[in-house]
Chain A
């Protein structure tokens, strides 16, 4: 009986050793754990920061953002020119560029790609729908594309990298019932991009295989394969990196997790100042927030130092206004608000409207927004303003913010980089043309509109900068929002990963430059 028991135990031990053993990654393969799902690979559908990796690594644009501060470099286009009135943009394309299936990239592919974006009206299309009419883009020859805008647009060039080029012939072959190939392109890739799709499972993620014939060439040690997996749980991503199962994860982890990773010997944290401003969005279209003195009182009631230095351990940079510190278009001497309850009380005394309790909506799962709201609640209570905090998932917050009646009084959130231009921040936040979409402060200020609209219509950066500086100064002085910090990006990678080129657009997930030391 005893021998049988021992034999059984030995069998269990053998089975356990078979079941439990570590895993290893192949040489030249990079595995990244991402906090969003890769449910769709269509580059004209996906436009959120969380799913940037499939867009950047599988697809190319005419221009491309790299590095920090971001530089826009020619990519599928070799050059471009603009007409004097800023309405006509001519792009000369690189010759001899191959798609993954070996066919040649031409101007027809650019035309198809922009028409597809305008027709499907998803993803980044909202950047182009107001300024490009369907059918207005032309190809005078095989390697030239001419965009004719409805009106001059100073931001058009900085949004061109978002026009990602698909293989028109291949997509057309897979169109079904006039769907512009959406069903097919959701799980296939048709591009010239750095990596070819090798495996894809919407539930897991994707594997890309290096496209050796990519027109931009390759460094000697570039990854042969990249694998991006969905791992929703933050703790699992962090532990996976420490354990060595993955070689990288998202760069906006909670700071306590960054500190944990900094202690791991096999992990490196790359640091860069990003362009992601954390601020309180204030509903200026409703009393008492419509009163400048009330807004100023709130701005003086927030403990900036306590938040930045104590809660966030100095992991971020104080940002005085709506534009990120490291971008042009902000006055160098912009004076930030400080935590000063006496000034807050003085401002509050000037408020003419009746004071009422206000509601802050915080983003469930984003503890920083809850911490910031609680800190403001504490400061406001000391000057006699009651604040109620409601937590909800981002889709709930977003829906309510875009509805003037249902919008919260305040929402702490981040304004990320979709294109590198001050219009991405102060313009979209406070120009009335964006009310209900990106202007969820419901600011409708003719003076702001004059500056911001003019800055959109002229191309001279010096002149534009002056206009944006005026707008930023007014937004800060009038406390259209409470501006807190500009995010630092803490890119967590395995210690042997090198060559990461962080850019605020793409958040360090452009893997064509990276390699193992």
Chain B
């Protein structure tokens, strides 16, 4: 029952959270000293053309009217038209969402697969040489800037070793889109060539995103395991003579991972943020590159649309994390 209340409460908060986000982004985008109409029409446009387009797009209205209209459009599911691509922004974002999801989900899977075992090992071998090495590496992982790591991986794996593609999402345009996720669509098509291409192309960008995230997970898992491993119930299991592996798996991890799971939800937000840079460096056709292009073109509505989608995505992921959290640690939801 508490779990249902928690979910409903989160859903209710979703509305003011998103509204606040829209207002902040709208105001910021209007502070930037650009005129989207002039950008749209280019340097050759005459003042008459600019004025006509300004009226047509509603940019001649007072700011609060524009904001009210913007809210109305968003509630109606209309994010407006990109002044650069001239297409509905929702359509542009929907086209690019699968690429970003595929990249960030792969990065999360890789970071969890690396981070949790290494965090456990680091805790179990506390103060050993291995622990020290893992701690140094994880601190370094946190400190590395995503764009720099991306360039390093490109230089080493793509240019020097030649074992990975330099950029893009797949050779050519990929399999017929069903889910939009290249790896899944290749498998659905039973197209091994595309699957190979999709996996090889995602390797470096996913690693770029995953390594700093894994470093965070290592540190949280290590701290969680150290905290639990000295607790009374674990000491009791030891005294009972249970094998160490079973103790760690059954009694330590479940309790130790509570903070890690919460962290994974937060990491998702960081991954999406870093994806803006990583997608640009790797020419990954996701929402990040869309955001960069929109910013460079001063496409205000597209920037707002991107922020709303990303904001909603992060809120939803955090809700899922809360739900998962309530299953791992049912104390709070009883």
Binding site for B on A (CB under 8 A): 16, 18-23, 33, 37, 39-40, 42, 45, 47-48, 121-127, 129-130, 182-183, 186-187, 199, 201-204, 207, 227, 229-233, 235-236, 239-240, 242-243, 245, 365, 392-396, 398-400, 402, 406, 418, 436-438
Contacts and interface: CB of A to CB of B under 8 A. Distances in A.
7 contacts: A20-B157, A20-B164, A125-B49, A130-B46, A186-B87, A239-B159, A396-B34
A239 B283 CA distance: 12
Nearest to B87: A186
Contact of B84 (A20, A39, A227, A243): A39
* 5 nearest CB pairs, A to B: A39-B85, A203-B285, A395-B298, A20-B163, A126-B44
B312 interface: no
B86 interface: yes
A37 B87 CA distance: 14
Nearest to B41: A122
Contacts of B157: 20
Contacts of B49: 121, 125-126, 129
Nearest to A130: B46
Contacts of B163: 16, 20-21
Interface string B203-218: 1000000000000000
Interface of B: 32-35, 38-39, 41-47, 49, 52-53, 82, 84-87, 92, 95-96, 99, 151, 154-155, 157-159, 162-169, 171-173, 196-197, 199-200, 203, 280-283, 285-286, 289-290, 292-293, 295-298
- Listed residue (A126, A182, A395) with the most chain B CB atoms within 10 angstroms of its CB: A395
Contacts of B158: 239, 243
A396 B33 contact: yes
B165 A23 contact: yes
Contact of B39 (A199, A365, A395): A395
Contacts, number: 173
Given A18-B196, A437-B45, A396 B32 contact: yes
A233 B283 contact: yes
Given A126-B45, A202-B85, A232-B283, A239 B290 contact: no
A39 B162 CA distance: 31
A201 B173 contact: yes
Nearest to B85: A39
Contacts of A122: 41
A395 B295 CA distance: 9
B197 to A, nearest CB: 7
B95 A202 contact: yes
Contacts of B86: 39-40, 42, 45, 182-183, 186
Contacts of A235: 151, 154, 281
Contacts of B95: 201-203
B167 A121 contact: no
